[in-house]
A and B are shown apart, each in its own frame.
Chain A
Amino acid sequence: MNNHASNGSSLKLALAWAFVGIPLAWGIVMTLINALALFQ
């Protein structure tokens, strides 16, 4: 078992994190855009 990403599993790891990270990042950006109204 590895503690850190090895070459063999790095693609799998990148895909898994992208699968959850991209929707989350999109949601955060949308929220920040809406939050700007607070300081305008």
Chain B
Amino acid sequence: MKKDESKELQSETSRSDYTINSPEPGPYQLHIVHLYPDLLNLYGDRGNIQCLRMRCKWRGIDARVTECNSGDRLSLASADIVLLGGGSDREQQIVCTRLQKVRPELHDYVEDGGTLLAVCGGYQLLGHYYDTPEGRMEGLSLVDLYTEQGSPRLISDIVLSNETIPELSTFEIVGFENHGGRTYIGDNMPFGKVIHGYGNNGKDASEGVLYRNVIGTYLHGPLLPKNPDVCDYLLQKALDRKYGISLSDFPDLDDFLEIMANRAAVLKHFY
């Protein structure tokens, strides 16, 4: 059933039918690079890509996704948004040796204001190292943070608030966390303040990290579909860097369903 063929469906819950009229693609293009999806693909991270892609499409922005697998040569020259997902410990170990070779490229990209979303294992790799009883995994040292393995695993629904970044302050940020690592971000700005769940280390009420145009976070769920503001924040940063334009120059999207899902996740824990 295609989206426009909803004719036969009665509107049972009034707003649940939607039609999305994607405008013709305009002159704007964003290039999304998914790093090592063959290794780092746990927990629905594909949903983040899908979310970025569709929210571009629905605004008439031409989004192109390139998967950079572990055997491929990495080039970030044309990249506008980079995604680094999570993997199991074993896969992460494989990645971390491979990543060292491309560290300079990633470092320059980040310092040049490139947009990067790193989730879970990818987030841990942003830092200096991840210490486990089996040994140390060297990170990329893109952001001044480090991770140590702890017990038990921190597994929970999680709700964050961010009152420092206006674009992220309208709604709580919701997701699911499942990590053995305890991450310490020093003086960096966290992605959000934990109001339910564990966060970086279960102690300091911080979750994730914001550094330049990088978001590092433990939030799965996947992160972006139920937090459309976070998705738009990333798109905004990328558009600004490439074209110097604002998302508000594009048509508004109907986020009714996204916001309902976000609210439901918050309400579950507070009412």
Q: Do A and B bind each other?
A: no
- What is B's interface to A at a CB cutoff of 8 Å? none
